[in-house]
Structure 1
């Protein structure tokens, strides 16, 4: 299985964790949505770091897992910002309600590509592409 496919599978898992934790905190526990979103994002980002570390890039024997985790959280933050920026930029082109899904997909793909590149060349720098 290629590294990019593994990365995407871990991302899908992270997305499921993100949505589940957000729903539990915001709807189940009535936490303010900003706090629920922040907590869910951190848990999902940690989940994807673990998945990518052991499945995608297989660097479980790395000497500095805490630094690697910090880099992964920073990478996820940058990728999230690009995701939202591309989404907003593309969404401006049409008022059609269905177009927003196209914008959503563009944002997710842009964020995923950036996150993959940062992961491969910075977070898990011993990885091969």
Structure 2
């Protein structure tokens, strides 16, 4: 439980950095070149841009710090999975903004910020943490993937090593020192 709490706190710190990027870029774009007065879809486009930048910062922070102890198979697979979860989390925030701005008619800068940076962010954060922890950065999943890849190389793509989880494959067992058996020695 302590590890989960520590991980959640690190996730929060990384997320806070992403939030600063997201909110600052969103508001800068929303009040300048992507204002609804300039472009009707401006707030939604501003949110997509700002969240994309925050996702990049969060990827680095979560990979290097929050989930750094997770045994992982590869950055490419993990990066793709992180992007999928992050885009789904971004969709939650954008959907909250869209409903508030275009369906409910709350078009002020404050209403847009509450919809996307309070409600959308809270819902998206819980969604992302859960999926990052149990899918993207899952330590047991990374170890199994690495062992599976090694088994495929050794045994061929059509065969698989089958064994209980947690046992070390025989090719990783190291030799032990010999034991002298005095009872069977011929004098």
TM-score (normalised: structure 2): 0.49
Q: Which runs of 4+ in 1 moved over 6 A?
A: 30-36, 90-95
2:119 is matched with: 106
- 1:94 CA displacement: 9.7
The 8 Å contact of residues 48 and 90 in structure 2, kept in 1 or not, is answered as no
The 8 Å contact of residues 68 and 124 in structure 1, kept in 2 or not, is answered as yes
Aligned residues: 122
Moved more, 99-108 or 47-56: 99-108
Q: Deviations over 1:5-25 (max 9, x none)?
A: 21111111122234556678x
The 8 Å contact of residues 78 and 136 in structure 2, kept in 1 or not, is answered as yes
The 8 Å contact of residues 53 and 59 in structure 1, kept in 2 or not, is answered as no
- Over the residues paired in the alignment, what is the CA RMSD in angstroms? 3.9
1:69 is matched with: 79
Q: Distance in 1 between matches of 2:59 and 2:95?
A: 23
Higher helix share: 1
**Are positions 1:52 and 2:62 aligned together?**
yes
2:136 is matched with: 123
- 1:108 CA displacement: 1.3
Q: Distance in 1 between matches of 2:75 and 2:65?
A: 15
Query: Which of the pair has more CA radius of gyration?
Result: 2
The correspondence for 2:18, drawn from 4, 14, 21, is: 14
**Are positions 1:5 and 2:9 aligned together?**
yes
The 8 Å contact of residues 46 and 73 in structure 1, kept in 2 or not, is answered as no
Moved more, 39-48 or 75-84: 39-48
Q: Distance in 2 between matches of 1:93 and 1:36?
A: 19
TM-score (normalised: structure 1): 0.67
The 8 Å contact of residues 18 and 44 in structure 1, kept in 2 or not, is answered as yes
Structure 1: gaps (5+ residues) = none
- 1:49 CA displacement: 1.1
Q: Deviations over 1:24-50 (max 9, x none)?
A: 8x59xx799687765543332122111
Structure 2: gaps (5+ residues) = 141-187
